[in-house]
Structure 1
Amino acid sequence: MALAKLGVVVLDCPDPHALAGFYAGVLGGTIEEQDGWVDLKVPGGQDLAFQQAPAFVPPTWPGQEGSQQFHLDLVVEDLDTAEKEVLALGAKPLDTDDRSRTWRVYADPAGHPFCLCAC
């Protein structure tokens, strides 16, 4: 029996509404805001939340000097198509040179790493 149930994954960032908009563009869903807290309600998936962290320092990839903390794996049907779309939304490539792999690493606009993974 589980002690707890995962409620939401929360990402610290300098601009919660902007980062929620980026992930809404990637995952779909609706943005809800209340008292500075921004939620992305993802249909059929795990919701994400975004909280303002004025002193936020993005992790480095790969994290030689510090930990990346965590990253999101986003499953897509076509890596090339998804890559074009996330780059147009403001993602930055971090580790995308090996096109034979089934995954590629990017940073969201606030600097959090995430992977696009072929299904």
Structure 2
Amino acid sequence: MALAKLGVVVLDCPDPRALAGFYAGVLGGTIEDQGEWVDLKVSGGQALAFQESPGFVAPKWPSSDGSQQFHLDLVVADLDEAEKGVLELGAKPLDAADRSRTYRVYADPAGHPFCLCLS
């Protein structure tokens, strides 16, 4: 039996509104601005939250001397189309050169790693 239910995944970042806007462009959904905290409500999916973190230091991927902290796996139907879209929204490729794989790794505008994974 579960002891708890997942409420929301929270990403620390320097600008919650900007990062919520990036993920709204990727996932769709509605942004609810709470000031230092911003929620992204995604229809039929898990909500994401963004919290202002002064002094934020972006995670490193991959790195043996720094932690990636966590990453998001985002399932897509077409890797090339999804890649084009996330790059237009401000993502940066971290490990996307190998086109034979079923995933590609990027960083969001605040530096959090995420993967586009072929469904």
Q: Give yes or no for TM over 0.5.
A: yes
Paired position in structure 2 for 1:84: 84
Query: 1:24 maps to what in 2?
Result: 24
Q: Distance in 2 between matches of 1:56 and 1:19?
A: 13
Identity of aligned residues (%): 81
Where structure 1 has 5 or more consecutive residues not aligned to the other structure, the ranges are none
> Residue 82 of structure 1 aligns to a residue in which SS?
helix
CA shift, 1:35, in A, is: 3.5
Runs of 4+ in 1 over 2 A off after TM superposition: none
Give the letter for the 2:89 counterpart.
L
In structure 1, what residue type is equivalent to 2:8? V
Q: CA RMSD in A?
A: 0.6
Q: What residue number does 1:96 align with? A: 96
With the length of structure 1 as denominator, give the TM-score of the two structures.
0.98
Q: Which runs of 5+ in 2 are unaligned?
A: none
Equivalent-residue separation in structure 1 for 2:63 and 2:12 (angstroms) = 18
Matched length: 119
Residue of structure 1 equivalent to 2:57: 57
Aligned to 1:70: 70
TM-score, normalising length: structure 2:
0.98
